[in-house]
Structures are given as C-alpha cells and as structure tokens.
C-alpha cells in the first residue's frame, strides 16, 4: 500500500503552492524511505512550475535539494541504514546502460535521467519532489551527507553545490586560474566558495555592489557591478573560466569578451530564452562557450565529501513552508541570501494527520 504524505503543490503555472497530499510507493528491495528534514528552494523549481521550460504535469510538487534521515530500507539495501543522514538531488534514476551512465555521467543519460520531480519513474508514476514530508528513492541515487554540516546548510549542495562544483572541477579551477562567477544567488555563492577552496583567483560579477561584503566573506577576491559598463572594459580578455549562473537572458557576448586566450564560459543558468552567441566573439582568443548540467552520482558524493573536509556549507535562510510563495517572489527579485531552505517540520505541523 502506498503511503500518503503531506506536500505543497501547484495546480497550474500561475497558481500558488498549497497544502496537499501525495502518494509515495512502498519500499521495494532496493529502495530507501527518507523522512525529509529540509528542502532547498532552487530557481529551477520556479522555472519548472511556471512552465518556463515547457509544459509540465500538474499538480506538481517540486524540490530537488533534499536532506533527511533514512527511516526504512528495502531487503537488499546495504549502503544505507536506518538513521543515516542522506540527501537526494535532481535525479532519482537513469537507464544505467548507456555509455554516459556507464561512465558515471547519469546526468547525461542518453535515454534521459529520471528527474526527482516532473519525471516518469520506472513504475510509470510521475515523480514528485522534496516539498513533502517523505520520499522513496532507489538506494544508489541516495547520497551520504557529511556529519559536520547541519541538514539545512547541506541541503542546497544537492543541486546548487554539484552544479557549480562539477564545471569548476572539469575546467580545472585552481591556483593561477582567474575564475569569474556571474550572479550571486544560490548557485553563484556556492561557485565562489568552491572556486576559492580550489585555489583560484575569484571575481564576482553581480548586478550591483550590494552583495560585495558577503562575496568577499565567501572567498571572492574581487567584486564588480555589471550595471557599470566600465566593468566590461576593465576586465576584457581577463578570465580563464567564467561560470554564468544567471537565470535570465544576458548579453552573452559582453561576458564572452572577458575571456582571455583559450578561456571558457560555462553556462549553468537556464533562462528560457536563446542566448545569441556571435561566432566572431569566439574566434577572438579561441574562446569556448559551454554548458554543464548538475553532476553524476559519484561526483555528487565527492562534492559532499569535499564540503565535509573543507567545512563548506551553504548560506541559508530557513523558512516555514507557508511562506514559500513569498520566498519564490524574493528569488525572482534576486533577493535571497543565498538559499531559501524549507523546514519540513513546518509542513508536518500544518498537516499533522497526513
Ligand atoms: P538564483 O538564486 O535566483 O540566482 C540567480 C542570480 O542571477 C541572482 O541572484 C542574480 O544575481 C542574477 N540575476 C537574476 N536575474 C538577473 C538579470 N535579469 N540580469 C542579471 N543577473 C540576474 O537562482 P539559482 O537557483 O542560483 O539558479 C540559477 C540558474 O541556474 C537558474 O536558471 C536555474 O534554473 C539554473 N540551474 C541550472 C542547473 C544546471 O544543471 N545547469 C542546476 C540548477 C539550476 P546578482 O543579484 O548577484 O546579480
Ligand atoms: Zn536545482
Ligand atoms: Zn543512461
């Protein structure tokens, strides 16, 4: 018998999120049931729910930065035990057979990985995300959380963390490399912390200087305002790597021109609009324009372990679930410092009988 659990869902792209219930499947031999403690609020939750990236299935429960405790395991589960602190990110399964899956890049599964929400699970049901009290996930897509970091500060690592760690590691942020991070939101603030920990010289490119003191505390060496056109002349031909986390359309050529010889701009921000790259901007300095999507399961575990070793956590504002609609508006207004995280106890309190 499936379990009925409390959740917050929306029923259309314009509807507010409201209290509801959803079903979680029985724990199969390889499944883990997690009592969710905290769920991070990613800008992708908003893009998805509001239909920015295309039509979705409603009602929909989003949330793919899930931290909680194992409360039940299937008979074949050996890597997790009841009471373990665990996390779930953007994927809950993949085909496991294609060349990308076999190489550990489940995020690039050639059959399409199964997303934590708005996906179709192997049993044909629609996946529903972490704005809920419990989730059941197959064991190898469940990550181990570092002991030293509280649940609320670790939850956003499951998306914002891995999405920035992966390209920084792949494009070798490190000593002697000049790295710029565009946009200081959920992803951006983690990019700054990781790039600094990896030893790179880190510059933040934010719309204004309002977040400068915070950025410097996170490990940035320099902060520039993109509203000041002088920034683009001063920093021309300067960076080895730019991580663009901006959720909206940008004049991407202006940012590409900040790359020095063989530099790469990696777009992790996912605006619905096309970005108009001029090839001549790429010809100069033999520049590259790239994209990157979250990270594989082993890499996500490596990122979590790296955070444990280096004491890296997210800067969060914990919210009660009944303020989620206002929190989303603040994310859209770039008014988040630096990740909203829902305390799922507040959901349990709203729905004690669920
Ligand atoms: P966020 O917290 O809202 O941060 C985005 C930041 O971009 C804002 O804080 C703001 O920084 C800047 N920004 C917003 N609107 C802007 C505009 N119109 N012009 C210039 N700058 C603007 O969002 P997030 O959760 O970090 O997500 C960022 C993007 O990454 C979203 O599109 C999300 O869907 C995407 N994403 C992609 C992946 C992936 O796998 N590639 C994974 C997760 C999320 P300042 O105030 O500092 O300017
Ligand atoms: Zn996300
Ligand atoms: Zn695959």
Which atom from ligand 1 is nearest to the alpha carbon of 204?
A: 47
| Confidence (pLDDT) at 44 | 98
Instruction: Give the Å distance between the CA of 215 and the centre of ligand 2.
Output: 21
pTM for this one? Answer: 0.98
The minimum-distance atom of ligand 1 relative to the CA of 42 is: 25
User: Does the pLDDT of residue 353 top 90, yes or no?
Assistant: no
Q: Which numeric CATH code is attached to 3-159+315-350?
A: 3.90.180.10
Compute the mean pLDDT over every residue in the chain, rounded to the nearest whole number: 97
Mean pLDDT of 4-21: 97
218 lines ligand 1 (CB under 6 A): no
Domain segments of the chain as ranges: 3-159+315-350, 161-291
- Over 80: is that where the pLDDT of 315 sits? yes
Give 23-49 pLDDT, tens digit per residue. Answer: 999 999 999 999 999 999 999 999 999
Same fold yes or no, 3-159+315-350 and 161-291: no
pLDDT at residue 260 greater than cutoff 60: yes
Q: In this predicted structure, what is the pLDDT of residue 233? A: 98
pLDDT at 21: 97
Any ligand 1 atom below 6 A from CB of 246: yes
Distance 43 CA to ligand 3 centre (A): 26
Q: Is 47 in the pocket of ligand 1 (CB under 6 A)?
A: yes
- Residues, CB-to-ion distance under 5 Å, ligand 3: 94-95, 98, 101, 109
Query: Which pLDDT tens digit goes with each residue over 235-258?
Result: 999 999 999 999 999 999 999 999
The CB of 21 under 6 Å from ligand 1? The reply is no
Rounded average pLDDT over 313-333: 98
Quote the Cα angle for 188-140-116, to 5°.
Answer: 50
Evaluate if residue 171 carries a pLDDT over 90: yes
pLDDT interval class at 163 (50, 70, 90): very high
pLDDT in tens, 105-135: 999 999 999 999 999 999 999 999 999 999 9
3-state SS record for 36-94:
EEEEECCHHHHHHHCCCCCCCCCCECCCCCEEEEEEEECCCCCCCCCCCEEEECCEEEC
Name the residue with the closest Cα to ligand 1, atom 44.
Answer: 44
* Homologous superfamily, domain 161-291: NAD(P)-binding Rossmann-like Domain (3.40.50.720)
Burial 33-68 (b: 16+ CB within 10 A, else e): bbebbbbbbbbbbbbbbbebeeebeebbbbbbbbbb
How do residues 275-292 score in pLDDT, each as one tens digit?
Answer: 999 999 999 999 999 999
Output the DSSP codes for 332-343: HTT--SSEEEEE
* Predicted confidence band of residue 352 (pLDDT cuts 50, 70, 90): low
Protein residue whose Cα sits closest to atom 39 of ligand 1: 293
Residues near 134 by beta carbon (within 8 Å), at least 6 away in sequence: 3, 5, 24, 33, 34, 35, 36, 71
209 C-alpha to ligand 2 centroid (Å): 25
- Range 100-104 average pLDDT: 98
Query: What pLDDT, in 10s, does the model give residues 182-231?
Result: 999 999 999 999 999 999 999 999 999 999 999 999 999 999 999 999 99
What percent of the chain is predicted at pLDDT more than 70? 99
Q: Is the pLDDT of residue 73 over 80?
A: yes
For residue 354, pLDDT beyond 90: no
DSSP lists the bridge partners of residue 204 as: 181, 223
pLDDT mean over 87-102: 98
Is the model's pLDDT at 22 over the cut of 70? yes
User: In the structure, what pLDDT confidence band is assigned to residue 351 with cuts at 50, 70 and 90?
Assistant: confident
Ligand 1: atom nearest CA of 247 is: 32
Residue located nearest, by CA, to atom 27 of ligand 1: 43
Whole-number pLDDT of residue 326: 98
């Amino acid at each position: 018998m499936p379990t009925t659990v409390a959740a917050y869902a929306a029923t259309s792209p314009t509807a507010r999120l409201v209290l509801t219930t959803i079903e979680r499947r029985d724990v199969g031999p390889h499944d883990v049931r997690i009592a969710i403690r905290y769920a991070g609020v990613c800008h992708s939750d908003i893009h998805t729910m509001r239909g920015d990236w295309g039509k979705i299935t409603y009602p929909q429960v989003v949330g793919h930065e899930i931290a909680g405790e194992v409360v039940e395991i299937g008979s074949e589960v050996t890597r997790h035990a009841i009471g373990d602190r665990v996390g779930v990110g953007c994927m809950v399964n993949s085909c496991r057979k294609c060349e990308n899956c076999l190489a550990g890049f489940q995020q690039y599964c050639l059959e399409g990985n199964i997303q934590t929400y708005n996906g179709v699970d192997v049993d044909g049901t629609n996946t529903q995300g972490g704005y809920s009290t419990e989730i059941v996930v197959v064991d190898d897509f469940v990550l181990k959380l570092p002991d030293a970091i509280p649940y609320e500060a670790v939850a956003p690592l499951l998306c914002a963390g891995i999405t920035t760690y992966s390209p920084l590691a792949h494009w070798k942020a490190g000593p002697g490399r000049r790295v710029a991070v565009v946009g200081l939101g959920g992803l951006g603030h983690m990019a700054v912390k990781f790039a600094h920990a990896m030893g790179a010289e880190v510059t933040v490119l934010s719309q204004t200087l309002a977040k400068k003191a915070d950025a410097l505390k996170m490990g940035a060496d320099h902060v520039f305002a993109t509203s000041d056109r002088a920034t683009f002349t001063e920093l021309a031909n300067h960076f080895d790597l730019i991580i663009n986390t901006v959720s909206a359309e940008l004049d991407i050529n202006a940012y590409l021109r900040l790359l020095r010889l063989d530099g790469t701009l990696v777009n992790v921000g996912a605006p619905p609009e096309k970005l108009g790259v001029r090839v001549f901007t790429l010809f100069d300095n033999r520049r590259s324009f790239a994209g990157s999507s979250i990270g594989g399961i082993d890499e996500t575990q490596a990122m979590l372990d790296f955070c444990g070793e280096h004491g890296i956590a997210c800067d969060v504002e914990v919210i009660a679930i009944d303020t989620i609609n206002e929190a989303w508006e603040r994310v859209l207004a770039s008014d988040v410092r630096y990740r909203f995280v829902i305390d799922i106890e507040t959901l349990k309190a709203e729905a004690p009988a669920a």
